[in-house]
Amino acid sequence: METLLQEVTTEKKPSSQKLNITGAEAVVLSLLAEGVECVFGYPGGAIMPVYDAFYHYQDKLKHYLVRHEQGAIHAAQGYARVKGKAGVAIATSGPGATNLITGIADAMIDSTPVVCITGQVFRHLLGSDAFQEVDVISVSLPITKWNFQVTRAEEIPTAIAKAFYIAQSGRPGPVLIDITKNAQNERFDFEYHKCTKIRSYFPRRKVDMNAVEAAADLLNSAKKPLMLVGQGVILSKAEKELKEFAEKSGIPVASTLLGLSAFSTKHPLYVGYLGMHGNYGPNIKTNECDVLLAVGMRFDDRVTGDLKTYAKQAKVIHIEIDPAEIDKNVKTTVAIIADAKEALIALTEKVTPKSYPDWLQEFADADRIEYEKVVSKDFAPNTEKIKMAEVIKMLSDKTEGKAIIATDVGQHQMTTTRYYQFTETDSNITSGGAGTMGFCLPAAIGAKVGRPDRQVIAIIGDGGFQMTMQELGVIMQYKIPVKIIILNNNFLGMVRQWQQLFFDNRYSSVDMENPDFIKLAEAFSIKAQKVETREELSSALDAMLESPEAYFLEICVEKETNVFPMVPAGAGVGDIRLE
């Protein structure tokens, strides 16, 4: 208690207060004080007092009962990604808490703000191997931005206030509050003060104008500058500032996987998507540019390939909120440690208006090569079955790039992110850093709950779908109109692709005997349709898009197509393969 309070600065005026209430009620009132409207969770012994409090507050706080705690955390992630604020996941102790772990790791590596609340055994039983006791603080420690075990009711408001502040400030991330059962039952006088500062925590730096000047100098004299934008732009809500900066500076913009949708893919300065299955142009031009400006991204190895041959010729400017990312993978010439939005505003003022027609032409030339060698083949209706790319292209056109697209992990994910032409921000919900199969369906549910006004489409492989397909129950129970597309190739496609390319065609445990997906969806009272021919595709997509309810499309696609271009694991971006 001492330390929890000592180091925290809070708002003077309590945003909520109530005398003599239980810790459990305090949990709910704390969530309400943080503006939480809904939570995703699953009950059990150690969290039952909180569930009892939910019962009393059901008109103010909506609880979505998922079918597995992994569903709760991924739904909270999907919600957080579209809302730009923390999602909340609740679970009981022991297996309930450990079922959250995959999603917590996913949120950690993808910087997603989530607050997890887990029940824990009574304080006096801690450490005694009590029923459903797992030391979830230790288990979640390396994959949370912060975690804390509450063992007394009075600690609850401060712990939750800190949790929300830490999850949402600076570089966002998951936090976990573990609450012993006695703390949920104890009574105390509740007062909630929002956290505004923690002594040991410096989430955000002011923009250092010297660094901005140095960056502007480099950019102003650059001949072939290239900008790489990551999710940091979305997290700092800097899409408008990015566009203004790009248009004034004239610098071509490439995006990371998680940066997609921050900058319209239809903008003339947009040159494509980076990384292992990204576009040809931005990958090879990374090794030809003279100044590389990275904004809110962390030079993940799926983006850089072999670091020894990555952008060695370029001066690197890195705008990044997290000081630990600077020089971690790529040495910078100038680092601007700041929020992307503030840094971009400052930099926009200092850059001179320029344009790079010849340099942009080089990207256009690369695009033409990629089109000939890859894209035209992907789109050509020359195979017996539909190709994934055809589906995504048609979907992109029909929705004008305006839908929220959630993807799982694998070939369908890379195909979607390659061909869906995002035009609106907060639209790309995918598991990037962790590559968590099973992410998509629950994340799409969370996204739809967060943005009921937008079309939310989940695009999933037949493999990944079967990892969390139980969450169809949530769609059924709460009538959440998520649109679901299963791109069924009867394979763990991406693994099969690697086995074909790098293991001499030895297909080891990648073919799947699948259930009847249509019957399965129908069992959950979800309208479903199977698409097997090209002729059916367009009308099926229309029916799905127009449906006011959830809709399930199983699209049978070519079994053995490969995703290209591809930077083979361990190779340099310059060694990108087109076939």
Partner 1 sequence: MENYKYLVLSLTKRRHVIPHDEILICILLNFFMVYCLRGKNKKMENKKFTISVFTENTIGLLHRVTTVFTRRKINIESLTVSETETQGVSRFTIVVNGSYDKIAQVVKQIEKQVEVLKCFFYEDEQIVYQELALYKMPTKVFANSESVEDIIRESNARVLAIEPEFIVIEKTGREHETQALFKKLEPFGILSFVRSGRVAIAKPMKRLQTHLEELESVSLFE
Ligand X SMILES: Cc1ncc(C[n+]2csc(CCOP(=O)(O)OP(=O)(O)O)c2C)c(N)n1
Q: How far apart are CA 293 and CA 340, in angstroms?
A: 12
The piece of 126-134, 316-324, 483-491, 544-552 that touches ligand X (CB under 6 A) is: 483-491
Q: Among residues 275, 305, 410, 433, which is the contact residue for ligand X, using CB under 6 A?
A: 410
- 59 vs 53, 116, 120, 126, 473, CA distance in Å? 12, 21, 26, 34, 22
235 closest CA partner among 112, 101, 98, 90: 112
11 makes contact with partner 1 (CB under 8 A): no
Collapse the DSSP code of 88 into the 3-class scheme (helix H, G, I; strand E, B; otherwise coil) and give the result. strand
The piece of 78-86, 150-158, 404-412, 441-449 that touches ligand X (CB under 6 A) is: 404-412
Annotated catalytic residue: which of 227, 276, 297, 494?
A: 494
Q: Given strand 456-461, what is the order of strands in its sheet?
A: 428-429, 404-407, 456-461, 483-488, 551-556, 527-531
Report the nearest approach of partner 1 to the CB of residue 104 (Å): 15
Collapse the DSSP code of 344 into the 3-class scheme (helix H, G, I; strand E, B; otherwise coil) and give the result. helix
Is 363 among the catalytic positions? no
Annotated catalytic residue: which of 145, 162, 181, 341?
A: 181
Annotated catalytic residue: which of 1, 131, 479, 503?
A: 131
Is 560 among the catalytic positions? no
Collapse the DSSP code of 352 into the 3-class scheme (helix H, G, I; strand E, B; otherwise coil) and give the result. coil
* DSSP string of 63-87, one letter each residue: EEE-SSHHHHHHHHHHHHHHHTS-E
485 makes contact with ligand X (CB under 6 A): no
Question: Is the peptide bond preceding residue 203 cis, with omega within 30 degrees of 0?
Answer: no
3 makes contact with partner 1 (CB under 8 A): yes
**Which residue is nearest to ligand X, using beta carbons?**
461
**C-alpha count within 13 angstroms, C-beta hemisphere, residue 176:** 29
Report the nearest approach of ligand X to the CB of residue 417 (Å): 12
Count of residues that bind ligand X according to CB under 6 A: 20
202 makes contact with partner 1 (CB under 8 A): yes
555 closest CA partner among 482, 461, 489, 487: 487
Q: Closer CB to ligand X, residue 216 or residue 494?
A: 494
Is 132 among the catalytic positions? yes
User: ∠ at Cα 429 (443, 551), nearest 5°?
Assistant: 60
462 makes contact with ligand X (CB under 6 A): yes
Q: Closer CB to ligand X, residue 241 or residue 462?
A: 462
Q: Among residues 22, 93, 102, 169, which is the contact residue for partner 1, using CB under 8 A?
A: 169
* 206 interface partner picked from ligand X, partner 1, none, CB below 5 to 8 A per type: partner 1
| Residue 190, Ramachandran bin (φ over 0: left; ψ between -120 and 50: alpha; else beta) | beta
Report the nearest approach of ligand X to the CB of residue 474 (Å): 20
6 makes contact with partner 1 (CB under 8 A): yes
* 464 interface partner picked from ligand X, partner 1, none, CB below 5 to 8 A per type: ligand X
Q: Closer CB to ligand X, residue 495 or residue 518?
A: 495
Report the nearest approach of ligand X to the CB of residue 459 (Å): 9
Q: Which residue has the tokens 């929890």?
A: 4
Is 69 among the catalytic positions? yes
Q: How far apart are CA 543 and CA 548, in angstroms?
A: 10
Q: Closer CB to partner 1, residue 346 or residue 429?
A: 346
Q: How far apart are CA 571 and CA 575, in angstroms?
A: 6
* 180 interface partner picked from partner 1, ligand X, none, CB below 5 to 8 A per type: none
201 makes contact with partner 1 (CB under 8 A): yes
Count of residues that bind partner 1 according to CB under 8 A: 33
Report the nearest approach of partner 1 to the CB of residue 434 (Å): 15
Q: Among residues 427, 489, 499, 561, which is the contact residue for ligand X, using CB under 6 A?
A: 489
Q: How far apart are CA 152 and CA 124, in angstroms?
A: 11
Binding mask 492-531 for ligand X (x = CB under 6 A): xxxx------------------------------------
The enclosing H or E element of 335 equals strand 334-337
420 makes contact with ligand X (CB under 6 A): no
Q: How far apart are CA 431 and CA 429, in angstroms?
A: 7
407 makes contact with ligand X (CB under 6 A): no
181 makes contact with ligand X (CB under 6 A): no
Report the nearest approach of ligand X to the CB of residue 557 (Å): 9
146 makes contact with partner 1 (CB under 8 A): yes
Q: Which residue has the tokens 């990551």?
A: 230
Q: How far apart are CA 444 and CA 71, in angstroms?
A: 10
Binding mask 426-445 for ligand X (x = CB under 6 A): ---------xxxx-------
Cβ neighbours for 465, distance < 8 A, ≥ 6 positions apart = 408, 440, 441, 486, 517
Q: Given strand 270-273, what is the order of strands in its sheet?
A: 270-273, 253-255, 225-229, 291-295, 315-320, 334-337
2 makes contact with partner 1 (CB under 8 A): yes
Q: Closer CB to ligand X, residue 216 or residue 486?
A: 486
* Joined tokens for residue 179: 């609450």
Q: Closer CB to ligand X, residue 320 or residue 462?
A: 462
Q: Among residues 322, 424, 532, 536, which is the contact residue for partner 1, using CB under 8 A?
A: 322
84 makes contact with partner 1 (CB under 8 A): no
Collapse the DSSP code of 554 into the 3-class scheme (helix H, G, I; strand E, B; otherwise coil) and give the result. strand
The enclosing H or E element of 232 equals helix 231-235
491 makes contact with ligand X (CB under 6 A): yes
* 323 interface partner picked from partner 1, ligand X, none, CB below 5 to 8 A per type: partner 1
Where along the sequence are the contacts to ligand X (CB under 6 A)?
408-412, 435-438, 461-464, 487, 489, 491-495
Catalytic residue ranges = 69, 131-132, 181, 494
